[in-house]
Chains A and B, each alone.
Chain A
Amino acid sequence: MAQATFEEISAADFFYRNRDIAGFTNPSRAIFAAVRELVENSLDAAESLKILPNIYVRLSYEGEASKETQIYKLRVEDNGIGIPPRHIPSAFGQVLFGSKYKLKQQRGTFGLGGKMAVLYGQITTHQPAYITSSTAAMSKIYMYKLMIDIQRNRPLILDRKVLINKEQWRGTIVEFCLEGDYLRAMPKLLDYFKQTAMVNPYANLTFVDPKGRLYKFTRITEEMPNPPTETKPHPYGVDVELLQRLIQITPHKNMLDFLKSHFLRVGEVTAQKFLESSNVSPSRNPKRLSHEEIVRLMHMLKRYKEFLPPDASCLSPLGEELLKAGMMKELKPEFVAVHQHKPATYAGHPFIVEVGIAYGGEIPKRGSFLVYRFANRIPLLYDEASDVTVRVITAMNWRRYKVSPDMPIAILTHICSTKVPYKTVGKEFIGDRPEVRREIANGLREVARQIQHFMSKREHVDRERKRLGVFSKYLPKIAQFSTKLAGKEKLPDIEKLLVSVKKYGAEETED
C-alpha cells in the first residue's frame, strides 16, 4: 500500500510551483510580466495620492543565462507614496501580503505582482532584490537588500541602510535581476508602454531598453481622475466565505445592524424588509448563525430583488476628456470619438465601460480594426480574439455606420470595476458576460454614431471638393475650346461662374 504524504506548502512555494498562473510562463512573458507588474504598482502608488506619476524603467543586460535567454537587471523607479519602512520587507518578500485586499478598483488584485516578479528573479538568478523607498512624511530613505524564504513565505533581510533624505525624495525604487528573453518580449513590451501611456495621459513614462534605446512617453495633461475609494460589498456579490469573515470581524450583535453597516446600499428600511421576507429575526446575533444558516443567508441575499444596485462612486473611470487626450496623444488620428457609459452592475459588482474610436491620421490600415482593450487602466495584450470586446466588434454591423475594416480605425474599450470579470487567472481577457457585453455594445454604438456623423460630413466635404474640382477642370477647357472655335482672341471670364459654383454647391447636396 502506497504511503500518501500530505504536506502544507507556503503561498510562495505554491506560486513558485505554479508561476504560469501569474503570467511568468516563459522567458519572454516573464520579462513582460515583471515590467508590467512593477509599473502598475508604481502607477497605483502615485494615483492613490493624486500625484502625477513619473515612472522610470530600465532594463540592462547582465550576461548570458542559456542559448536563448539572458540575465537582465530590471530597475523601476516611481514618485509614488512610498512604503513605510516596516512594511518594505513583507511588501516585496512575502507573497499574498499587500494593500490590495480591499474592495476597490485597482490595477492588480492578487497582491502578487511585485512579489512574483522578485520571486521569479530570485528563482532564475539566485540574487537578492534591492528596494529603496521613502514616504512623504519621512526625512529618511530606507534601502533593503532582500531574498524570499520560499518554503516559509518570509522575507530574508540581507542588508538594511538608512539614508538622510535631503532632497525630500519620495517614491520607491525596485531593482533585481531576472532571466528572460528581451528580444522576443520587445514588441509586446513597447505595445504595453504605448497603451499604458494612452490611458494614463497624465503620466510620464520612460523606458531604457538593454540596447540603450530610450522610449519616452510624456504627459500631456495634469488632470487626473479621482482616485477610487474603498467600498463595502454589495449583497448580490457575497459568498459564504465573505459572510463568515464579516461575521468574525463585526462588532454588531444583531442582524439588522450587521446588514446595515457591512453592505452597500442596505439601510434601515431595506435591511428590515429583507429580514422580514427571509424570515430572519432582526435581533438575531450574527455570530450565532450556524453554517447552514449562513449558506441560506447568502442565497437569500442573492435572491432578494429589492436591493438597489451598487453605486459606482467607488469607481474611477478615466473620463471622456482624458480618454480622448490619451488617444489623440498616442494614436495621432484625424478624428476621435469617446463615450463613457453610465455605470452598470454584474453579480453585485459595479462597472463602467468607456469606449473610444479613432480614425485616420497615423493609424495604419490593416484590413481589420486595431483594438485596444483596457481593464482598470491596464492594457490587455494577449488573447484578443477571446475577449468580449472583439466579439462585440465582430458582431456589429459597421456598414450601417459607414465604417469598414479596411479603413484606418482604432477602437478602444476600457472597463473599470471593483472586480473585473476576467475569464482566466492570467487576466488577459474579459469574459463574455451578458451585462458587460450589453454595455460595451451600447458604448460602441454611441461612438459609431459619432464616427458616422464625421464620415458623412467628410463625405460631403469630399464630394464638394470633387465637385469644385470638376468645374475648375472643365470650365476653363470649355472657355479655351469655344474661344478658338469662335475665332476670338480673348478668353471669356469664367471666374464668376467658378465662384457661383461654390455657393451653388454649398446649398445643393445632391445633384
Chain B
Amino acid sequence: MRRAATPLLIVAALALGGCAIEPWVAPYERANLSDPIMSFSRDPVSASYMNHVHEVREGARGAGSAGGGGCGCN
C-alpha cells in the first residue's frame, strides 16, 4: 500500500513546480556553479572512455556518467 502511494506522492510533489517557488540561489549568485570546474561532465569524451574501462572489468554497471554499446572485453 505504501509503495502504491509513492508514485502519487512524487506526482504531487513535482507538480508543485507549476507554482511559483522562490529560488534560494538567485541567478546572479550562480557564477561559481557555472564555472567549468563545477561541471559533472566537463570532458564527455574522457568520461565515456573511463566508464567503459570500468564496466568491462567490474560486475557493477549503470548509473554512470555515460552510455555505450558493445563489450571489447573478451
A and B from one assembly? no
